[in-house]
Amino acid sequence: MIRSNLKPAVISAVVVAILTGLLLGVRLDQQGTTLGLVGAGPDVYWKIAAAATFLFFFNLFRDQLGALWKGLPGLPKAPAKLTSLGDKPALRRLFWCFMIAAAILWPFLSNRGGTDLGTLVLIYVMLGLGLNIVVGLAGLLDLGYVGFYAVGAYGYALMAMYFDVGFWTGLIIAGCLAALFGFLLGFPVLRLRGDYLAIVTLGFGEIIRILLNNMTWLTNGPNGIGGIPKPTLFGLEFSRRASEGMQTFHEFVGISYNSEHRVIFLYLLALLLVLITLFVINRLLRMPIGRAWEALREDEIACRALGINPTAVKLGAFTIGASFAGFAGCFFAARQGFISPESFTFIESAIILAIVVLGGMGSQIGVILAAIIMTILPEMAREFDEYRMLLFGLMMVLMMIWRPQGLLPMSRPHMELRT
């Protein structure tokens, strides 16, 4: 047994040495124009040796380990409570009410930093939910989602700069603009096969970023756009002094100015947008188009034979998904007050995709949970910041191998025939 595994064990150890020896073991060191090398330090060598030894023994005792693994009780399929939750509408409703109440109370229980972080989470929740329509529900892999996010953000920033458009008008226009981009891109490319679509959308996202970087006359290039107006509440501003013809919130209510009001207001605004998103998606799922998305994912040929136009249905998902990215982008621009093309790189698309994947494609509660994990973990473990993206890539691979359906797989609301 062990002898037959000796060869693969040695090979795997040697492969590890080849993989890591040069690339991790030494470090290129640039001194002026000369290129030198420095050793990476004993800790790296120890790690490499440990990895090689581990793989050696792992492969050597593979059969024994496999037997042991089988003996262990299986991993829990999904948290049992949450699965049963999906079955009972009353409990489900109660759970959601509790979640929403907790979310509303959060800024009043937390400090300013916590509220800010909450707003960030909510932006990612919104992006995740939007991409979830495209990837999870319609089964279209969109790697350029950040492009629509950028369209929304720049759409609002530019309109505010050139036409003095306020936040609320801007929000609607940004959503429509992103939807228009989604429509124009989707119209020709949605006929393509899934993996081609992924690359084309990736290319689209890059084109948007390159254009934003280079159309300096319009977008100010890499320097970005600043001074983007903040959102207002029915015309009330959240600043110390009102700008011309406006009134501030603290004067109107008759309390003293506190900069935290604005942070809380932004948080609640983001929460409102997320709730609207959730509402819309839940309705969509129960509508003909939501059913068609699932049917299309299962069997496109049968759909065509039944008179469903696959391109139109996919285009619906693509456009709706894009419009949510547009809303999120507009809110992001208004919250930051400053945007530059750097916020809209491919990595951002990958993070949003990871949220969808981690959460369980198609599952909304899963997406929310994943957005919280993905945003808060790196904040909590600052010392791991260096390794954040590394772990994140690793997680995507492991997730696909271990649990491609995500942490909380979707339980779609099924239509019932009442008898």
* Window 140 to 179, contacts with another protein (CB under 8 A): 141, 143
Q: Using CB under 8 A, which residues numbered 343 to 362 contact another protein?
A: 346-347, 350, 353-354, 357
- Give whichever of 263 and 273 is closer to another protein, judged by the CB atom: 273
- Any idea what the Cα angle at residue 412 is, between residues 407 and 414, rounded to 5°? 155
Q: Which of 22, 105, 272, 381 binds another protein (CB under 8 A)?
A: 22
- Any idea what the Cα angle at residue 185 is, between residues 288 and 148, rounded to 5°? 85
Name the minimum Å distance from CB 185 to another protein: 9
Q: Is 145 in contact with 353 (CB distance < 8 Å)?
A: yes
Q: With binding defined as CB under 8 A, does residue 287 bind another protein?
A: yes
Give the Cα separation of 319 and 182 in Å (integer). 5
Q: With binding defined as CB under 8 A, does residue 385 bind another protein?
A: no
Q: With binding defined as CB under 8 A, does residue 275 bind another protein?
A: no
Q: With binding defined as CB under 8 A, does residue 31 bind another protein?
A: no
Q: Which of 198, 274, 330, 339 binds another protein (CB under 8 A)?
A: 198
Q: Which of 18, 75, 253, 380 binds another protein (CB under 8 A)?
A: 18
- Give whichever of 244 and 386 is closer to another protein, judged by the CB atom: 386
Q: Which of 180, 218, 303, 376 binds another protein (CB under 8 A)?
A: 303
Nearest to 346 by CA among 177, 150, 56, 75: 150
- Give whichever of 19 and 102 is closer to another protein, judged by the CB atom: 19
Number of chain positions touching another protein (CB under 8 A):
89
Q: Using CB under 8 A, which residues numbered 177 to 196 contact another protein?
A: 188-189, 192-196
Interface segment toward another protein; rule CB under 8 A; list 32-40, 95-103, 148-156, 256-264: 32-40
What is the H or E stretch that residue 33 is in?
Answer: none
Q: Using CB under 8 A, which residues numbered 98 to 137 contact another protein?
A: 135
24 is written with which tokens? 């991790």
- Give whichever of 149 and 156 is closer to another protein, judged by the CB atom: 149
184 is written with which tokens? 């124009």
Give the Cα separation of 91 and 99 in Å (integer). 12
- Any idea what the Cα angle at residue 39 is, between residues 37 and 41, rounded to 5°? 155
Nearest to 143 by CA among 203, 100, 209: 203
Between the alpha carbon of residue 333 and those of residues 22, 168, 336, 375, the distances in Å are: 44, 13, 5, 18
Work out the number of other CB atoms within 10 angstroms of the CB of residue 146.
Answer: 32
Q: Is 135 in contact with 165 (CB distance < 8 Å)?
A: no
Name the minimum Å distance from CB 406 to another protein: 11
One character per residue 33-62, x = contact with another protein (rule: CB under 8 A): xxxxx--x---x------------------
Q: Residue with structure tokens 């801007």?
A: 170
Work out the number of other CB atoms within 10 angstroms of the CB of residue 78.
Answer: 19
33 is written with which tokens? 């124009």
- Give whichever of 55 and 123 is closer to another protein, judged by the CB atom: 55
Q: Using CB under 8 A, which residues numbered 310 to 339 contact another protein?
A: 310, 316, 320
Interface segment toward another protein; rule CB under 8 A; list 125-133, 250-258, 372-380, 392-400: 392-400
Q: With binding defined as CB under 8 A, does residue 396 bind another protein?
A: yes
Q: With binding defined as CB under 8 A, does residue 305 bind another protein?
A: yes
Name the minimum Å distance from CB 38 to another protein: 10
Q: With binding defined as CB under 8 A, does residue 28 bind another protein?
A: yes
Calculate the CA 398 to chain-centre distance. Answer: 18
Task: List 237's β-bridge partners, or say none.
Answer: 248
